[in-house]
Homo-oligomer: A and B are copies of this chain.
Amino acid sequence: MSDLPDYPRVAVTVDLVVLTVRDGELQVLTIRRGEEPFRGRWALPGGFLRPREDLHAAAARELMEETALPAEHVHLEQLASYGAPDRDPRMRTVTVAYLALAPDLPTPEAGSDAADARWQPVHTMLAGAELPFDHAEILRDGVERARAKLEYTPLATAFCAATFTIAELRRVYEVVWDTTLDARNFHRKVTKTEGFVVETPETTTRDGGRPARLYRAGSAPRLHPPLLR
């Protein structure tokens, strides 16, 4: 089988928008670039697709390599692809961006490729022209995807630990949507929406005040009815 050299070849990369809720704000995982171009700048983690690697596998590998996050606790889904002809000054590239949602993990620090890894507030990274390449656009799209999916999927639980209180889940919504929600109505909706959360026998007082029941994520793939902004 010929290699059909008459069609242009492109370098395919995978970039990651890894979001978490930390210190009451939405944060994104950034790595300090160790190579040109943009050496020393904070950027989204990512890397080249390997010759016999599936896209999702590449994203999962990058997540491990560059962020050392425990993959089993991280939601990972494809976001979108970006291929403007001049998006990378080195050569023609197309990047397949993935969106990862993680709980507030202890301290995810640098892996092998990256000189350094750090959580940074999304707001900060989008304020100036911080991010190189088209990473600001990718980050914006990732945040918008997360905001939208919180409405009609139980994905907010991906920002929480294995068990969580309703208040913790509510804070996820409040941070991602940048609104405040009535705690009582939120509690009613979440517990009445079939398959969103599952009660556990435990309670916790880690948020102070009266002990709160702990829940774990339910199995419903979608929320019926949705939680509208």
Contacts and interface: CB of A to CB of B under 8 A. Distances in A.
Interface of A: 1-4, 7-12, 48-55, 78, 80-85, 89-92, 94, 96, 148, 151-152, 224-226, 228
Contacts of A78: 80-81
A89 B90 CA distance: 29
Contacts of A10: 9-12, 49
B85 A52 contact: yes
A105 to B, nearest CB: 28
A78 B151 CA distance: 21
A81 B54 contact: no
Residue from the set A89, A90, A148 with the largest chain B CB neighbour count within 10 Å? A90
Contacts of A228: 224-226
Copies of this protein in the assembly total 2
A112 B103 CA distance: 51
A183 B103 CA distance: 45
Contacts of A81: 55, 78, 81, 96
Among all A-B residue pairs, the 8 with the closest Cβ atoms: A9-B9, A55-B83, A52-B85, A81-B81, A8-B51, A10-B12, A7-B48, A81-B96
Contacts of A89: 1
A156 B184 CA distance: 36
Contacts of A83: 12, 49, 54-55, 96
30 contacts: A1-B91, A2-B90, A3-B90, A3-B91, A7-B48, A8-B11, A8-B48, A8-B49, A8-B50, A8-B51, A9-B9, A9-B10, A9-B11, A10-B10, A10-B12, A12-B83, A49-B94, A51-B92, A52-B92, A54-B83, A54-B85, A55-B82, A55-B94, A78-B81, A80-B80, A81-B96, A83-B96, A94-B94, A148-B152, A151-B152
